[in-house]
Each structure stands twice: as C-alpha cells, then as structure tokens.
Structure 1
Amino acid sequence: MEKTVYIRMRHRVQVRPHDSVFLKDVALIIAEDHICSQLKEIVVHKVTDQDQNIIIIDAMKVVDLITRKFKEIEVQTIGPSQTIIEVIFKKKNVSFPLFMLIWFLLFFGAALTIMNFHVDVSMKEVHQRLYTIITGKMSEKPLLFQIPYSLGLGLGMILFFNHVFKKRINEEPSPLEVEMFNYQQDLDQYVIMNENKESMKQLDDD
C-alpha cells in the first residue's frame, strides 16, 4: 500500500565546513514513526572544500533521494521549494584599533549629519523665535528649548531603534530590523535564482 510523506523545506540552515547535511536539517517531515526516523538520517549533501559559503538544496533533489530509497512512498512537498545552506567559517577576531576607528567614523559621521540637517532647516532660528514668542525676550542661546530638544532627540532615537545597547525595549521589531529583514529576503531570492542551476535554463553558445 502506498504511503504519503509530507516534506516542508526550511528557508535557511547554517552548517560548518565538512559537515554532513541530513534531511532532518533541511526539512520538516511528517510520516509514520518508523519511516520518519529513517528519512531524517538521509544525507542530502556533504560540504566539501569546493563548496562556497552558499549552497542551494532543491525540493526535487530531496524527493529524488526519498523515492530512490523508499519506492513505495509518495512524497508531497509543502511550502518553499529550496533551502539555503549557509556554510559558517571560523570568524576572525576584530582588532580593537579597527573597532575604535569604525566607531569614531560612525559617531562623528552621524553627528555631522544631524548638525547639517539642523542648519538646513534653521533649527536655531526656530528655537529663538519660539523663545521670543513664549517669553517675550530675545536670546541668542534659548537653552529652555535646546536642552529638552537635545535630550528628546536622543530618547527618540532609542525608541526608534528599540534598543538600549544590546537590550531590546519591547518585542516589536524596529524599522531598521524590518528593513534588514526585507533586504535579507531579497538577497535570498537573488541567491536562489542565481545559485540554483535547475531554476534557469540558458542556450549554450555555439
């Protein structure tokens, strides 16, 4: 009697060099217990030195491996049709002088950006005008507005990015995290289309 196995490919998997990638690593499997345990141990790919840091596993390859081993099984795929395998190499330690250099560049670059923006919109003149309207006096340095505004600017950035150093304020993702997620989705789609040779067929040059 023919049995049905349901496979759902994972979106992204991280492995180390020379690891063996099993079916349980790249897919969620629904099947009878005695079959499921055997399916999980099927080797889908062996990471070699020739592999780059991105490997694409197509659902058709998985179906082929399963049907070769279990001819009486019908395989149903659900969800994504490819899994991205990211090979994680040993990270190099970042030198402290390089870290400080990048930190200073980002700090002063952000500071100059904020100051140039305030000059463009005449923020100083706006504060002076508001101070004159409320108090009836002229002041070159309306600290009554400038100090709260500076504190509010820093607090607003903390609330916007939803982080205080490494601590998250709440579970809601920040706009930066959403943009990074969208960028990662676009990058993954590009990688799938360009790395997966089965997804494109081109005419050979004569």
Structure 2
Amino acid sequence: MTHTVYVKLDEITELTHKDILLKDVAQVYCRDQNIQNKCSVCRIMTVRSDEAHRYVMSALDVTKKLEALDPGLEVEHMGKTDFIIAYKPAAPPAYGRQWCKTACICLISFFGAAFAIMTFNNDVSVTSVFHEIYRLVMGYEAAGFTVLEASYCVGLSLGIMVFFNHISAGKVNTDPTPLEVEMRLYEENISKTLIDNAQRKEKKIDIS
C-alpha cells in the first residue's frame, strides 16, 4: 500500500546536535500516524565535524532517505526545494559577551545616527531655515533657540519611534518593523547565496 507523506522544509535551521532528524528541519504530515512518526525520526544526516558549519541539502536528499526507509512512500514536498542546516556546537551561554556586544551595537547605532542627523541638518542649513521662518512669522529676529528647534527635536524622536514601530516593549501596530523586514531580507539573501554557492561548487561558471 502506498502512503503519501507531505514534507514542508524550513529554509534554514540552527541545530546543536549532530544527528539531524527530519522533524528538526521540516514539518511532516501523513494520514497514517505511524508512518508520520516513522518519517519524522528519519535521520537525514550526521554531522562529522566538531566545528560550526552550514550544510546545504535538497529535497531530493530527503526523498532518497524516506524512500530508503520505506519504498512504499510517496513524498510530496510543499516548501523549499533547498534548505540549510546551520550546525553550532553546544556551548554555555556567554551572557557577559552578549551584553558587551549589545552595548557596543547600541553605542555605534546611537552615535552613528546622531552624526548622520547632524550632518544632514548642517548640509541643508536647518538652523538658518528655522531662524528665517521665525523672522517671517514673528516679524523680528530670534535672539537664540526658539520653539521651532524644540518642536523639531521632539517630532524627530517621535517620528523615529513611530517609523520603527517600537515604543518600549510594545508595537504601534501589528505590521513588522522596518528593522524586522531588513533582517528578513538579509537572512534570505544569505540563504540564497549559500545555496547558489553550493550548487556551483566544482562547476565552471562563465560570467562573461
């Protein structure tokens, strides 16, 4: 009797154990629960190295493993045709190092953004524009900083928080933040590059 097994592979999965089972990298479904359980624990590869590495596999590799497990299976792939296993040896969490990295990133982002804003304001002469607007509205020159500069600072801060869709631990709405979108695009580009490089390995590529 033929059983159809549906497999939905994740594009990239980070694991710390060396024996990689199908359930670690994919969702598996079969009408027969026993067949589903047997396929879920099918070992698709064993990591031989003790160092962190990313391995690229394809849906064909999974199909071969499942058919070897049970020749009566019919495998239907619903997700990615190529996927990545990111093996990372298990290690105790280094909280001090993580906090230091987070602090460095926060400082770089803060001062980098502040420098970018200051250079932009200086380039377009925001101060001169505010003084000119104040003179046109009030009829006389401003003696120093005005309400325009204060409003600009407050509005800029609020605008950044609203744009990045983060206020404290909550969100302004249910949309993904621009940072989340960019991180997802970065992750997809990394995965695509790894898969393409693996497919081109030991092949002659004509780029002319």
Q: Same fold (TM over 0.5)?
A: yes
TM-score band, normalised by shorter chain = 0.7 to 0.9
Helix, strand or coil at the partner of 1:49: coil
Q: Which residue of 2 aligns with 1:21?
A: 20
Q: Which residue of 2 aligns with 1:77?
A: 77
Q: Is the 8 A contact 2:52 2:88 kept in 1?
A: no
Q: Is the 8 A contact 1:162 1:169 kept in 2?
A: yes
Q: 1:115 aligns with which of 115, 118, 122?
A: 118
Helix, strand or coil at the partner of 2:97: coil
Q: 2:140 aligns with which of 137, 142, 149?
A: 137
- Matched to 2:133, the amino acid is L
Q: Is the 8 A contact 1:21 1:45 kept in 2?
A: yes
- Matched to 1:109, the amino acid is G
- Matched to 1:62, the amino acid is V
RMSD between superposed Cα atoms in Å: 2.4
Q: Which residue of 2 aligns with 1:64?
A: 64
CA distance in 1, matches of 2:103, 2:12: 33
Deviates more, 1:76-85 or 1:47-56: 47-56
Q: Is the 8 A contact 1:131 1:142 kept in 2?
A: no
TM-score, normalised relative to structure 2 = 0.83
Q: 2:172 aligns with which of 169, 173, 178?
A: 169
Q: Which residue of 2 aligns with 1:11?
A: 11
Deviates more, 1:3-12 or 1:120-129: 3-12
TM-score, normalised relative to structure 1 = 0.84
Q: In the comparison of the two structures, how many residue pairs are matched?
A: 200
Aligned ranges for residues 175-194 of structure 1 at < 5 Å?
Answer: 175-194=178-197
Deviation, 1:141, is 2.3
Helix, strand or coil at the partner of 2:132: helix
Unaligned runs of at least 5 residues, structure 2: none
